[in-house]
Amino acid sequence: MDLVLFDLDNTLLAGDSDYEWAQFLIGRGVVDRATYEARNDEFFAQYRSGTLDIHEFLAFQLAPLARYPRAELDRWHAAFMDAKIRPMIGTPARELVAAHLAAGALCAIVTATNSFVTAPIAREFGVPHLVATEPETTGGAFTGRPAGTPCFREGKVARLEEWLAAIGRPLARFASSRFYSDSHNDLPLLERVSQPVAVDPDDTLRGIAAARGWPVISLR
Q: What is the DSSP string of the chain?
A: -EEEEE-IIIIIBSS-HHHHHHHHHHHTTSS-HHHHHHHHHHHHHHHHHT---HHHHHHHHHGGGGGS-HHHHHHHHHHHIIIIIGGGB-HHHHHHHHHHHHTT-EEEEEEEEEHHHHHHHHHHHT--EEEEEEEEEETTEEEEEEESS-SSTHHHHHHHHHHHHHTT--GGGSSEEEEEES-GGGHHHHTTSSEEEEES--HHHHHHHHHHT--EE---
Active-site positions read: 7, 9
Apex 122 CA angle, 120 and 126, nearest 5: 110
